Amino acid sequence: MINRYKARLALLMAILLLAGGVLTACSKSTNGGNASNSIESASASQPASESAEASGDGTPTGACTKPVELSMFVDATWYPFQDWTGEIPELITKATCVKPKVTVATDDKQLALMVASGDLPDLVVSFNFKLMSDGKLSLPYNEIFPKYAPDVTFDPVKILVNTVNDGNYYAIRNDFSSEAEWKANPYAHMMTPGLAMRKDILEELGNPAMKSLQDLDNVFAEVKKRHPT
């Protein structure tokens, strides 16, 4: 049960990483004793017939009728969603058989207070890389992914720049691109606050104006029309 649960947890972390590119950590909470105890308790409470089985490579297979519920703290007061609903969250739950129970920060000091008290949820999504890159708080990516999601790999350069003093890395931040990525995407340019635009495709469309969300939607629609795949 623990292995199946951790496989789904690793897959959820991978999807969150790809979707948001922010620090995702599995805490060791005083309420649950430690991360392993929390995982065992959550898994044991779920009948095998109602959980997604794990395949040999650690990825969930089969129908998910009753997802495991994880507590998730989002360290961003501006985060607009107060619960795990919508098309994308539902697809993530279907793929991982995990359904986070979301709590959004009320101020920028809340996470630090939670860390100080030792009362942390199962998942923390935060930009506070320095605070959460701690083996006493988070599970290192270099341990959880090779064991439970071996198909998920990271660029060696990104691993290097995200590795902290204890020799582990707890996140792959999205504010850094390797030299190989820059060479592979010479037409990609960043627009604040982080929207990547393909210069070659924009030129193909005639450099349309984008002064409103509607303009952006129109560009998306045209790109989809010309490049359906």
pLDDT digits (tens, 9 = 90+) for 127-179: 898 999 999 999 999 999 999 889 988 999 999 999 999 999 998 887 778 88
Residue 202 shares a structural domain with residue 92 = no
Mean pLDDT across the stretch 176-192?
Answer: 74
pLDDT of residue 227: 92
What are the E-state strand segments in 165-216? Answer: 188-191, 195-198
Residue 155 shares a structural domain with residue 193 = no
Residue 45 — pLDDT band, cuts 50, 70, 90? very low
Residue 18 shares a structural domain with residue 105 = yes
This model's pTM is above 0.75: no
Residue 27 — pLDDT band, cuts 50, 70, 90? very low
pLDDT greater than 70 at residue 48: no
Greater confidence, 80 or 31?
Answer: 80
pLDDT of residue 183: 84
Does 128 map to a domain?
yes
Does 169 map to a domain?
no
pLDDT of residue 31: 41
Residue 110 shares a structural domain with residue 41 = yes
Residue 216 shares a structural domain with residue 153 = no
Which of 83-92, 130-139, 176-185, 197-206 has the least mean pLDDT? 176-185
Average pLDDT, the chain: 77
Distance from C-alpha of 15 to C-alpha of 95, rounded to nearest angstrom: 9
Residue 20 shares a structural domain with residue 68 = yes
pLDDT of residue 46: 37
pLDDT of residue 196: 73
What are the E-state strand segments in 57-172? Answer: 60-61, 68-74, 98-104, 123-126
Does 179 map to a domain?
no
Greater confidence, 17 or 68?
Answer: 68
Residue 204 shares a structural domain with residue 127 = no
Task: Tell me whether residue 221 is exposed, middle or buried, using C-beta atoms within 10 angstroms of its C-beta: 0 to 12, 13 to 18, 19 or more.
Answer: exposed
Q: State residue 176 phi and psi, 5-degree precision.
A: -145, 135
pLDDT of residue 14: 59
Neighbour count for residue 103 (Cβ, 10 Å): 15
Does 168 map to a domain?
no
Residue 56 shares a structural domain with residue 6 = yes
Domain extent at residue 118: 2-162
Residue 88 shares a structural domain with residue 196 = no
* Sequence-separated (6 or more) residues with CB below 8 Å from residue 138: 25, 26, 27, 124, 132, 170
For residue 159, give the H/E element and its range: helix 156-162
Count of structural domains, the chain: 2
Does 52 map to a domain?
yes
* Sequence-separated (6 or more) residues with CB below 8 Å from residue 51: 4, 43, 64, 66, 68, 97
Residue 222 shares a structural domain with residue 150 = no
Does 114 map to a domain?
yes
Does 47 map to a domain?
yes
pLDDT greater than 80 at residue 5: no
* Sequence-separated (6 or more) residues with CB below 8 Å from residue 38: 28, 29, 31, 32, 122
Distance from C-alpha of 185 to C-alpha of 183, rounded to nearest angstrom: 5
Residue 57 shares a structural domain with residue 149 = yes
Residue 96 shares a structural domain with residue 204 = no
Does 191 map to a domain?
yes
Greater confidence, 56 or 63?
Answer: 63
For residue 53, give the H/E element and its range: strand 53-54
